[in-house]
Amino acid sequence: MTEQELAAKIVELTGGKGNISTVRHCATRLRIVVVDKEKIDTDAVENLERIKGSFFNSGQYQIILGTGLVNRIYDEVIKITGDPDAGAKGGKEEAPVYGNKFQRAIRMFSDVFVSVIPVLVATGLFMGLRGLLTQEAVLALFGMTPADVPQALLTYTQILTDTAFAFLPALVCWSTFRNFGGSPVIGIVLGLMLVSPSLPSAYDVGSGAAEPLIFFGFLRVAGYQGSVLPAFATGILTAKFEKFLRRHVPDAVDLIVTPFVTLLVGSALAMFCIGPVLHMVENVVLVLVEKLLFLPMGLGGLLYGSFGQTLGIFGIHHILNFLEISMLAQDGWNYLNPIGTCGNVAQAGAVLAVAIKARSVKTKQVAYPSCLSALLGITEPAVFGVNLRFVKPFVMAMAGGGIGGFLASLFHLRATGMAITGIPGTLLYLNEQLPIYILVNVISFGAAFALTWFFGFSDKDTKAAAAPKPQSKPQTEKAVKIGAVVNGTYVPMTEIPDEVFAQGVLGQCCGIKPEKGKIYAPFDGTITQVADTKHAIGLQGAKGVELLIHVGLDTVDMNGQGFDVQVKEGQEVRKGQLLLTVDLKQIAEAGHPDVVIMAVTNSDDYEKLEWIAGGKIAAGEDVAEID
C-alpha cells in the first residue's frame, strides 16, 4: 500500500473528509479531531498496513505511525482534507469539545510545543556532537588535544547549539499564535522583542554581568532568554486580542492598525505585566521539579521512573515538554530525559517477555515489533497494543523503570537535549556519561523482562484478553422524556438549515424557531459543557442521555455578544430552570438563523428515540422520548 493509499484509507475509516475537523501531528502520531467519533472504524484503522495502533484521548483520535512516516502521511491527508486548521479558524462546522477543562488545557499545551520540539531535538544532537569534539579521550584517538580544534569550528558549533534556545520565546510565540488563530509572523516578531539585543540578557543579569532596566522606578526588566511560560501566555492573550481587532477594525486601515496595536499591547503585557510574574513562577516550578528529582538516595528517580510512564496513558505527558525545554534553556542540561528513558526501555523489556511467552501468533506479531519500536523511543505500540492490554506487564515495566530511574538519579545522569530516548537517545550522552547511560537502560530492560517473565504474564492472559466483552445495553426502566427548551415552533431535523444538524452528524436532533430569548433546562440533569462563546450548552440526564443545546446557527462568530449564561459547568439543574438568555434581535442583525437546536449526541446508544412534538410548542412540553 502506497502512502497516498494509506492516507486515503485513514480519511475514509475516520468517517470521511466531512467528519474531520482538524488534523495535526506530533513526532509519532497523526492527531485528528472529528465531528462524530462514533464514525471512526477503529478496528479497521488498526488493521491497516504500517499502522502501529490508535486510541482516542483528550478529544483527539491519535493514530500511531512512527517518526518520518507520520510527516509524509500528514502531508497526504491534508491534500485530501484541505486546510488542517479550517475547523479551528471558524469554519462552518464547529468542532465538538471533548474532554474536561484539564484535558483540553493539556491538549492545547501539547499542540503548541509539539511544533517546536523538532528543532530542539536537532539542537540537542548538536550539543552532543559538540561535546564529542571537545572530549580529550576521543581527540586522543586522532592524536589531538582540545587545543588543536580550530576556534572557527568551535564557533560554528556554538551557532548550532545556542540559536534555538537564544530565540526560544520567538519559537513559542510563533507556535502559540499559529494554534490560536493569530498571525504567526506577528507571533515571531513579538517573541523576538522578548529577547531583543536592546534588553539586558537574562543570562548576563543572572550572572551579575549586567543590570536590568528599571521602569517606573521599581520594575526590573531584562530579556526572556530561555523562558517559556511568559512567551506562551503572551502568545495566547495577544493572539486572541489580534482576532478581536480583526473583527472590529475597518478593513481600510486593518493592515496598519492591527499589527501596530497588537505588537504594542503584546509587548507591554509581556514586559511589564505577565512576563515578570510568570518568569518567577517558571523558576519556582523548575526548582521544585529539580528538588524532586534530586531527592536523596535516588528516591526522585525511583518515583519518576515508576510513575512517569502513566502520564502518557492520560494524554498529559506533553506538559513535561515545558519543563525539559526550560531546563535546557537554563543551564544546557535535561535531568528528566535519562529517567524517562529508563521507563521507555522498561516497556520494551516487558513487551519482549510477552512476545516470547505468548502462544498467540497475533500477540507475537504485535509484540515483537513493539519491542523494537520502544527501544527506538516510540512506546505507544508496546503500551497500548500489549502491556496495558494485559495490565500486569505494564505494572512490571513501571517497576523496571523505577529501578533504572533510581540508578540514573544516583549517577546524576543528564542529557544535552530532549525528545529522543532509548537507542537514539545515546546521541544525547556522547560524553563520559555514555557507559552509565547504557548500563542503567540495560538494567531497566532486564528488570522489566524478568519481572514480566516470572510474575507479569501467562498465556491465560492472552485468552482472557481475546474473549469477547459483553455488550452493554441501555437500561430498561421507564423512558426519558425531553422537554422543549424554549417557546416557539417545532422544526423537524431534516428541515434545519444546516447540513451537519439536518443529517444527524452530531446525533438525532430537532429545532425550535424561538419566540422569546429564554432557554430552559429540558430535564433534571448536570451541565457538562458551556461554550466559551456562550451559544451552546451540554447537559447529561437520566440513563446517560447527553443533550446539546445550540442556540442559532454560526452564532459562534458572535463571540458571546447577546448571550447571558445563567449556569456553569458541573452544576445540577432542574427541568424548567433558566439556563441562558439571548437577544434574538442581535442574532438577526448578525445575519444568523436563530433556530435553537436540541441534539441527542449519544442517540446511537439507545434502541428508541421518538420525536413527539409538532407545530407550536411551549417550553417544558415534551418533544422527545428515549428508551
Q: Which residues partner with 468 through β-bridges?
A: none
Q: How far apart are CA 564 and CA 160, in angstroms?
A: 53
Contacts of 149 (CB under 8 A, 6+ apart): 133, 134, 139
DSSP-assigned states of every residue in 194-262: TT-TTSPPHHHHHHTSS--EEETTTEEE---TT--HHHHHHHHHHHHHHHHHHHHS-HHHHHHHHHHHH
Q: How far apart are CA 626 and CA 598, in angstroms?
A: 14
Q: Which residues partner with 480 through β-bridges?
A: 626
> Quick one: DSSP state of residue 35?
S
Quick check: is 26 catalytic? yes
Cα–Cα distance list, 440 to 267, 305, 376, 408 (Å): 46, 12, 16, 6
Contacts of 555 (CB under 8 A, 6+ apart): 533, 535, 563, 587, 590, 592
Q: How far apart are CA 394 and CA 142, in angstroms?
A: 46
Of residues 135, 133, 137, 125, the one with CA closest to residue 150: 133
Q: How far apart are CA 189 and CA 191, in angstroms?
A: 5
Cβ–Cβ < 8 Å for 89, 33: no
Cell of 451: 519481572
Cα–Cα distance list, 158 to 120, 155, 338, 554 (Å): 14, 5, 24, 52
* Residue 26 amino acid letter: C
Q: How far is CA 557 from the centre of its chain?
A: 25
Q: How far is CA 305 from the centre of its chain?
A: 22
Of residues 23, 42, 142, the one with CA closest to residue 385: 42
> Quick one: DSSP state of residue 548?
E
Cell of 43: 478496528
* Marked catalytic residue, from 26, 371, 509, 510: 26
* Residue 458 amino acid letter: S
3-state secondary structure 341-409: HHHHHHHHHHHHHHHHHCCCHHHHHHHHHHHHHHHCCCCHHHHHHHHHHHCHHHHHHHHHHHHHHHHHH
Which residue ranges of the chain lie beneath pLDDT 70? 26-28, 57-59, 66-68, 83-110, 114, 121, 137, 206-207, 312-319, 362, 380, 459-478, 500, 505
Cell of 162: 545556542
Long-range contacts of 34-38 (CB under 8 A, 24+ apart): 34/61, 35/93, 35/95, 35/96, 35/500, 35/505, 35/506, 36/96, 36/505, 36/506, 36/507, 37/61, 37/98, 38/604
* Residue 59 amino acid letter: G
Based on its alpha-carbon atoms, the radius of gyration of the chain, rounded to whole angstroms, reads: 28
Q: How far apart are CA 272 and CA 287, in angstroms?
A: 24
